[in-house]
Amino acid sequence: MPRRDLVTYPKKVSYRKHTGMVAWLLHRITGVIIGLYLIFHILAKSGVAGWFTSLTANPVARILVLIFFAYHAFNGFRIVLIDFSSGAEEGMFSKQFMVVVFLTIVVSILGAIPIFS
């Protein structure tokens, strides 16, 4: 019987859908978004990309940036802990990912209070 958590594509490319892959993918996506944000932020401060300033003046955009930074920071700290300790034990990835998500939500809610007030 074929496994349901194994996704296969032509040419024998396959991967398993699991928490570690989701954490890795979100870390990559938030890293690219943060990198683009920083580039446009520098351009906006120099006066080249004025549209970016008006875009980030929106409270929803500010909260999204906060969420991206918080997730990327907490997940990066999780990766450092895994690299320098025995955090890569079986079954720990899901627990660590849930802690990262919880901390991201808490920091995002606490950070949203001054944005909306």
Query: Which amino acid would we find at residue 1?
Result: M
**Positions at the binding site for heme:** 72
The phi, psi pair for 88, rounded to 5°, reads: -95, 25
Alpha-carbon distance 8 to 52, whole Å?
40
Alpha-carbon distance 92 to 110, whole Å?
27
**Positions at the binding site:** 72
